[in-house]
Amino acid sequence: MSVPRFWREQQNRYNLIGTHCTTCNTYYYPPRILCPKCRREGKVVEHQFKGTGTVVTYSIIRSASDQFNDLTPYVIAIIELDEGTRLTSQVICEIDEMYIGMPVKRVFRRLGEDGESGPIFYGTKFVPA
């Protein structure tokens, strides 16, 4: 990933900063600047998520792209944050620990790097709570 592409969303990724439509009281992470429910009537403001949630569904990746090959097998999951929005993240745990409905919390990890000499990308992953 290019430096500006990552840098632009760094705060979102580091601190789970998403958005909240105060018109319809819907939370968005990943952030949306346009509320799909209210569209132009929506008033969308920044919101920091607490970082706790529940596993909705998951898979254990055995075959990955180059960038993630060293991590296999690793768990990816769709997580519903307590505020009600969903995101996709790795869950750092033993693979046989995983179950649907598992409570999870945020941790700060490396998301990847642009080769050995390139920038390192940090952000949020989850662990069992």
> How many of the other CB atoms lie within 10 Å of CB of 23?
14
Cα 42 to Cα 27: distance, rounded to the nearest angstrom: 12
Total residues interacting with other proteins, rule: CB under 8 A: 49
The nearer residue to other proteins, 39 or 67, going by C-beta atoms, is 67
Instruction: Say whether residue 38 binds other proteins (CB under 8 A).
Output: no
Peptide bond into 73 cis (omega under 30): yes
Q: How many whole angstroms from its chain centre is CA 103? A: 15
Residue selected from 22, 52, 122, 128 as contacting other proteins according to rule CB under 8 A = 122
Sites of contact with other proteins (CB under 8 A): 1, 5, 9-11, 14-15, 30, 56-71, 74, 76-79, 86-90, 92, 94-95, 100, 107-112, 120-123, 125
